[in-house]
A and B are shown apart, each in its own frame.
Chain A
Amino acid sequence: MSEMKTIQNALLGESYTHICHDSGLNIYVLPKPFSTTYAMFGTRYGSIDSRFRLEGASEDTVVPDGIAHFLEHKMFENENGEDTFLRFARFGANANAYTSFDKTCYLFSCTDSFYESLEVLLDYVTHPYFTPQTVEKEQGIIGQEIRMGEDNPHNRLLYGMLGCLYENNPVKIDIAGTVESISQITAPLLYACYETFYNLHNMALCICGDVDAKQVVAVADRVLQKQAPRPIVRYRPSEAPTVFQKRYHAKMSVSAPLFSIGVKDVAISACPRERAKKRAALSILQNILFGKSSSFFNRLYESGMIKGNLDYWFEHNEAFSLLSLSGESDNPEAIYAEFVTYIECLKKEGLCRQSFERYRRVQYAEVLDIFDSTESVANQFIAELFDGADLLDSASYLEQVTYEDICALLNEIFCEDAYAMSVIEPLS
């Protein structure tokens, strides 16, 4: 009998039902009176799982780059030859999937016939079918996807920056791999990855919309077979706190140079709560440092050193942690120098307390904003879940962050040894 419990967060005014399904799958239903219902069936398996220990093996298996993404594409193939998109389209659902660094997600959205589409989702993802013929066919399609990515300067910029930061961490490997690496993929390898990572205990189903948890359980009862948990030994290589190399340069068909400064952070707590709290703190800190009100951005803008906006983001999870800022500039090195000086000055002067309170408000609004879309709820919920946290605690963590916390982070993370920059320049 599946166990059901409801979790609520008064601060946000949101709740969800958590079901420990008999099969071993954890299911989460977040109610929302929207037209669109969004369902996401994800596995904790992404491009960073390029090396792992198969059960009973004495050595690690190293898989070709891009295999998690390749597997995602092939998941849509059914043994009876029926196209998965057709199965969804019959019920009017809009289906898709994506592979990221640390997860692969299969999803659909619909405005009716939800339970029928849910059955399709659970069925096709739990029935893999890979043959040499279907693998070969996909190499052409993904080959073009890779080419598209190779022509995208922002994509090259990102991986150039990651390659600077990391020596060993597989986050620097292109999620899609290369045309060469995917030519090494075989059906047996796909099955090995599937058997290892697509165990229900390593997965989660998250649904956001106007649905009934009991009916969701009924669908799961019909489709899912019970599975015993399977230990996964993941390869998580160690990394020095300093960057692997300081610069990456490439020339592409662009009109002006693009830059991306990366800041490496290896201080990753083993405790999911601590990581969630650090994410809350980082979300405030990055806005103070690089946001539109910041002296850094305004100096770059007023001097013409940057063209357009300064984009910035961070990632902090069990596998990797970094911040990045990027944009377009005729003189990336000048921006880098400006950045170094700016941080050093800030560390001496200290951060503005008023800014801290101000951005805490802004982040609170951003958290509430997530709940205005069934798609963003499902995506963010799975992202937090797969790092051992609960999306509903986000606002609470923001409340707990102190001014001292973010000052400490500034001093801990921002050291010049941890900075690197990738640059894409126009063809001369």
Chain B
Amino acid sequence: MPLSQYQIADGIRLHYDPADKFKSNELTVSFLLPLQKETAALNSLLPNVLTRATEHYPTFTALNDRTSDLYGASISIDTEKKGDVFCLSISFAMLRNELIPDGTDVLGGTLDLLQEILYRPLLENGVFSERIVALEKENAIAAIKSLIGNKRAYAGVRLIDEMCKNERYSVRANGTVADTEAITPKSLYSHYLEVLKTAQIELFFIGSCDPSALADRLRAIFAHQERKPLPLPQTEIIKRAAQSKEIVEKQSAKQSNLVLGFRGVPTRTDLTRNAAFAVFCDLYGISPTGKLFMNVREKKSLCYFCRAAARAQKGILLVQAGIAAKDKEQALAEILYQLSLCQQGEISDEEIFMAKREITNTFRAIFDQPSSLQNYYLGTCIDKIDYSIDEYLTAVNAVTKEEIIAAANGLTLDTVFFLEGTEQEDDEHV
């Protein structure tokens, strides 16, 4: 399943994956920008405003009626940070033309919509509609504030706030309430024009079509776009924590959330070390046969959820557990103890074998969903990876025990964040 690239314009590429086993096609346009406090709120708001209304579809109803008429073509947006890179994506999922009973050209219609959304947004006095910007700002602010309703996510974000306090990475992908409030239709529109000019733009098409014709159509869409693409920032990586710190925050909740942040995850460009780290991470903290699940959860019954998640772009590892407040010291000790076992080489051949198989399974499964394929390709663009999934899996299967031990020993604990739930077990709010 070879992926092919087509140059569309300066700093704009199309990645085409002829995955013809799906009934759908998926087209995504991703804008890659630097992660900065000054622009995070603007970047986060932008796709919401763009996909609300356009010149020819000046109401949300009209725009949705159009996508419904295209046999349920759906538009979704995503904003996230990968390391110090801000990714802003707009995706179109549609049924393949061959499956449309009445011969409607859904692909053509969707490409027209892409052009419409990007280049014919609904404007008033030469800038974005005041009404739409005002409403979307309110929604965005509500979304930012709603984080406290999801304790696990909140605890994870707070850990990053504290651990990366003096680093760019602490900028929250959806911005702050104050920065969002300060946005005006004019500032947002000016920023949008800058994004079109300077962002690295990656287009992904996963499905079945004539790629040359698609590339030509996309070139036509971007034909008049002035382009001065800026290089993406190098993510700032701190390899070792000088010392560790602990922060406790109290909130009204029945369960507490413990999050540990470690430095020392290798970047993906280093294939061998990254593969070794992946094997370590799986057998330590991801697999249900891994050390954290088997010990913190199954043996000690301290939690239902206890898992490790690597953020390779930033070089950090998070371990998170939902526990009773009284078990904090025990859970923390056990998580660190299980890590020390890995560092000392207390790892069986069977654990290594199972981790390799699990990673192989996970990566092969990427090919089974257009969205996971697109997300994977986006990651390779940002991380500038030039090896294929097959080459990665070969490296994973070649990982040695010594390399796993080295990966574990590369970690240093930087920050512990404890979100202490203050509700008593029997509290009931009515």
B322: Cβ under 8 A from any A Cβ? yes
Contact A358 B65, CB 8 Å, known A36-B364, A89-B289, A369-B24: yes
**CA gap between A34 and B372 in the complex, in Å:** 14
B345: Cβ under 8 A from any A Cβ? no
**CA gap between A315 and B419 in the complex, in Å:** 36
**Interchain CB contact under 8 A, B253 and A253:** yes
**Interchain CB contact under 8 A, B304 and A35:** no
A130: Cβ under 8 A from any B Cβ? no
B 11-32 contacts with A by CB, 8 A: 21-24
B302: Cβ under 8 A from any A Cβ? yes
- Residues on the A chain within 8 Å of B294, using CB: 83
**CA gap between A112 and B294 in the complex, in Å:** 25
**CA gap between A140 and B145 in the complex, in Å:** 32
**CA gap between A360 and B313 in the complex, in Å:** 43
**CA gap between A372 and B142 in the complex, in Å:** 34
- Residues on the A chain within 8 Å of B95, using CB: 365, 368
A338: Cβ under 8 A from any B Cβ? no
The minimal Cβ–Cβ distance linking B289 to chain A, given in whole angstroms, is 5
A191: Cβ under 8 A from any B Cβ? no
- Which residue of B138, B145, B358, B425 is within 8 Å of A92 (Cβ)? B358
A240: Cβ under 8 A from any B Cβ? no
A 320-334 contacts with B by CB, 8 A: 328
B 209-262 contacts with A by CB, 8 A: 251-255
- Residues on the A chain within 8 Å of B289, using CB: 83, 85-86, 89
**Interchain CB contact under 8 A, B72 and A254:** no
- Residues on the B chain within 8 Å of A142, using CB: 304
- Which residue of A92, A143, A150, A151 is within 8 Å of B360 (Cβ)? A92
Q: Which residue of B lies closest to A248 (CB)?
A: B430
A111: Cβ under 8 A from any B Cβ? yes
Chain B binding surface, main DSSP class:
helix
**Interchain CB contact under 8 A, A301 and B21:** no
**CA gap between A256 and B146 in the complex, in Å:** 7
Q: Which residue of A lies closest to B306 (CB)?
A: A144
**Interchain CB contact under 8 A, B142 and A141:** no
B61: Cβ under 8 A from any A Cβ? yes
- Residues on the B chain within 8 Å of A293, using CB: 60-61, 64-65, 68
B362: Cβ under 8 A from any A Cβ? yes
**CA gap between A302 and B53 in the complex, in Å:** 13
Contact A253 B149, CB 8 Å, known A365-B95, A372-B23: yes
B369: Cβ under 8 A from any A Cβ? yes
Contact flags B47-83 to A (C-beta < 8 A → 1, else 0): 0000000000001110011001101110000000000
**Interchain CB contact under 8 A, B430 and A250:** yes
**Interchain CB contact under 8 A, B135 and A302:** yes
Greatest chain B CB density within 10 A among A35, A91, A111, A151 is at A151
**CA gap between A173 and B386 in the complex, in Å:** 52
**CA gap between A177 and B63 in the complex, in Å:** 44
Q: Which residue of B lies closest to A424 (CB)?
A: B149
**Interchain CB contact under 8 A, B138 and A307:** yes
- Which residue of B146, B297, B305, B360 is within 8 Å of A255 (Cβ)? B146
30 sampled A-B residue pairs with Cβ under 8 A: A33-B21, A35-B365, A35-B368, A85-B293, A89-B289, A90-B357, A111-B364, A111-B365, A140-B302, A141-B298, A144-B302, A144-B322, A144-B323, A145-B304, A147-B322, A147-B324, A148-B255, A151-B255, A179-B425, A251-B429, A252-B429, A254-B146, A292-B60, A292-B64, A294-B61, A361-B68, A363-B72, A365-B95, A368-B23, A427-B252
Residues of A with Cβ closer than 8 Å to B?
33-36, 83, 85-86, 89-95, 109-112, 137-145, 147-148, 150-153, 179, 249-256, 258, 291-295, 298, 301-302, 304, 307-308, 328, 358-359, 361-366, 368-369, 371-374, 427
Q: A86-B354, A255-B147 are known; give 10 further A-B pairs, CB within 8 A.
A: A141-B298, A145-B305, A148-B152, A148-B255, A150-B254, A179-B425, A328-B146, A361-B69, A368-B24, A368-B95
